[in-house]
Structure 1
Amino acid sequence: MERISDPLAQALLDDWQRDFPLVARPFAHMAERLGVTESEVIAGLGRQMGAGRISRIGATCAPNTVSASTLAAIAAPDDRIEEVAAVIGAEPGVNHSYLREHDWNLWFVATGPDRAHVDAALARIGHRTGLRVLDLRLVRPFNVDLGFALRSGGESARPARGPVDRSAFRDSDRPLLQALLRGLELVPRPWLALAGLLGCAEEEVLARTATLVRAGIIARLGVIVRHRALGWRANAMVVWDMSHEAITTAGPLLARQPGITLCYERTTVAGFWPYRLYSMIHARSRPDAMAVLDRVCALPEFGDIPHVPLFSLRCFKQTGATVLASQKETA
């Protein structure tokens, strides 16, 4: 996609990636702020969704708080990439799947209501493909609040995040949270429509959603954009071979660097994968992405650290996470 020039489209894509209104008529609230009508907001969001620039209006969940997830990788032979990617994508709990430039070329995120579901999904994928699956579990997140700003050229402001209050979560919140991860309807009263699906009152849906947002369990509520469709086509996952102790200082520093959109520490796999620190770079071109990496490497903490940029070649799957067990998850 080209850069978006229409002011209303810019505002809808840019200004509402967070803090979606928790009121009965959220699109009317947005319209009042933007100086347009409610129907114009709904139609505008519908056009952006139809154009593939928006995946949903909904939530992202703080990792491993009320559900489980892991990053995984497979080294698929070139002549089996399509076959293995199809097996990975068929798992209901897989919400992201990419082909990257590396011998370990198929990368995916497996999610589920608990660790047992994730383990079972990885086991099924390994069994059905006959290939080893690297299980790279999250250790520490430093920045997982992904956002893209159209007006400022690629970085969205990152709000300060406090600790997640898991005590605010009720197991009965799972259907609500799963629905928000799938996305709200583009109707004047989306919370009422969601309440009808869940069999409860609109006020209850709004109150529980507000609680989950305040607790940090919902990390972000708003417009979830598709970065490739908005021009960020150079997606590089840079992995760093750094000790756990060094990451304590280096991780937060890396997360603050311009152009770094995600940053976290993960477990290693002895004999196969030594990298602990991960950083994502989303840029409009490969040279732009490499320029971000060069700036990071100029920092004293990173100058001599072995690292590998794994550029994304293809996206096979991108959906919301899974926090409810699926009937399809069978051995």
Structure 2
Amino acid sequence: MPKDELDLRLLDDFQRDLPLEPRPFAAMAERLDSGEAEVIARLRRLRDAGRITRVGATCRPNTAGASTLAALQVPTDRIDEVAALVGAEPGVNHSYLREDDWNLWLVATAPDAAALADCLARIEAASGLRVLSLPLVRAFNIDLGFPLEGPRRCMALDRPADMAALRPGDRALMQALSEGLALEPRPFAALARDLRRDEAEVIARIAALAEARLLTRVGVIVRHRALGWRENAMVVWRLPEDRIEAAGTALAGLPGVTLCYQRRIVPGVWDWPLFCMIHARSRDEAMAVLDRARDLPELAGTAHKILFSTRCFRQRGAIITETATRKEKAA
């Protein structure tokens, strides 16, 4: 197939369900009528061009580690300064500028709740600004592996994680997958060597963690902005607790809504418990999705606001282990 079509198939067909076998790229190549070496070379070029972050996994929040969504109110003339301070924290894996009084948003991850609190405290101390922390309460959809071509489709409703599936050594494995697999013929063997484990055991544990929803996706992790999906809208909804489940379920099933979850409120400061994300190629496309969301019976008359992202400062995998935190600080 033409190279540009191969790129698209790699990006679109393998955002989840990476073949969990010793030579996954050979299995991908067979499905794509290509060759293993070509698939690996294309993935390397896509990564080096900033179109994908890695081939690996996304880890479910607050399972193997701790995480939160947080925001700061940053004066316009301090945005670059404060964004740099935020980005200097190893635990910050995403940070964006959004159109709101609370304008600098970040996702912070850490090995445990105490380390996460320390991370946010350092940001407050360095910036002199309050950090608004909004931990996850319930996930309706946290997959984000939506198709890049064709009509918008609804995402699957999330199912709870099975924490009983977590085993000793899994945190190190999840951290490695968050950083990305080696782009070579036997990536699981390379990962097994790094972790001093057996290749077959590593593959089996990845499969078990994915089945338990401790890994939300195993596959090609794309950079949506670099692929033309430049409008990232966070929509927040104000509604009472007894309406959140029905509203979140309805939103998660709406084509074009790419994430949906409930977060803790801070009374008098942040009274918006239900969040959804809309990724789109244009503002008009995003607003059309929002119009359909407004028309849902479960959200009729619900107060809401839309926070478009205007700049992306950081996007990388999560910090789960202390070892990863030390490596990031040393980098």
Fold similarity call, TM over 0.5 = yes
Instruction: Give, in whole Å, the separation in 2 of the partners of 1:21 and 1:242.
Output: 41
Is 1:185 the counterpart of 2:176? The answer is no
Is the Cα–Cα contact under 8 Å of residues 155 and 258 in structure 2 kept in the other structure? no
Deviations 1:42-81 (A, max 9, x none): 1111222222211100001122122111100000111111
TM-score between both structures, scaled by the size of structure 2: 0.94
Aligned to 1:44: 42
Q: What root-mean-square deviation, in Å, do the aligned CA atoms of Structure 1 and Structure 2 show?
A: 1.8
Measure the CA separation in 1 of the matches of 2:136 and 2:157.
20
In structure 1, C-alpha distance between the alignment counterparts of 2:4 and 2:316, rounded to whole Å: 27
Normalised by the size of structure 1, how large is the TM-score?
A: 0.94
- CA deviation vs aligned residue, 1:278-303 (integer Å, no higher than 9, x gap): 01010100111111111111223323
Supply the AA of the counterpart residue of 2:24. P
Change (3 A) 1:206 1:9: same
Tell me the distance in 2 between the aligned counterparts of 1:163 and 1:192.
30
Match of 2:115 in 1: 117
Q: Residue 147 of structure 1 corresponds to which residue in structure 2?
A: 145
How far 1:321 moved relative to its partner? 0.9
- Distance in 2 (CA, whole Å) between partners of 1:186 and 1:108 is 29
Which of 187, 194, 197 does residue 194 from structure 2 map onto? Answer: 197
Deviation track 1:239-297 (CA, whole Å, cap 9, x = no partner) reads 11111111121110011111100000111112211111001010100111111111111
Between stretches 108-117 and 199-208, larger displacement belongs to 199-208
Give the share of equivalent positions with the same residue, in percent: 58
Stretch moving more, 139-148 or 197-206 = 197-206
- Aligned partner letter, 1:274: D
| Ranges in structure 1 where 5+ consecutive residues have no aligned partner | none
Q: Give the drift of 1:5.
A: 8.5
Post-superposition offset of 1:153 = 4.4
2:62 to 61, 64, 68: 64
Q: 2:270 maps to what in 1?
A: 273
Aligned length: 326
Match of 1:131 among 126, 129, 132: 129
Aligned counterpart, 2:72: 74
* Equivalent residue number for residue 205 of structure 2: 208
Structure 2 unmatched ranges of 5 or more: none
> For the residues of structure 1 that align with 2:3 and 2:41, how far apart are their CA atoms?
17
Question: By how many angstroms is 1:192 displaced?
Answer: 1.1
1:244 alignment partner in structure 2: 241
Q: Which residue of 2 aligns with 1:291?
A: 288
Partner of 2:229: 232
